[in-house]
Structure 1
């Protein structure tokens, strides 16, 4: 059985879904949150657990575009990504 594949919004490379961090919109806000279990409802934006991909995604404003959100705070996105990558647990 084939595993699902998604595109990283940072580097635009395709990877298996389980290798990427999923970001979602917090309900009713313009805030972005990490979804380590990849089960939250709604649109998701995927990014590699690599700081270079995070920087590209933030610089290109790709996360807000992928989630169809306006007014996304780049610092808040960076914090959400940092919380996942520094927790020591790989994306599940």
Structure 2
């Protein structure tokens, strides 16, 4: 499966430009990541239903895995005082 990629530079550029050429899938994945981080994984039915319109069940699981993995790694980096140089 190809989920496409959106590196941090592209994300920052997209966020600065407002409405961009991001696909609906990319926009929804970013919304999911932001919502998951802000609400500690609590997801309203409305968001889940929109996810199901654009992603398979396996893709949704993969999105949550990526969000959780990156979040956990960031907590570890912060706890260990590791700086990104």
TM-score between the two structures when normalised by the length of structure 2 = 0.38
Query: Which one has the largest radius of gyration?
Result: 2
Higher helix share: 2
TM-score between the two structures when normalised by the length of structure 1 = 0.36
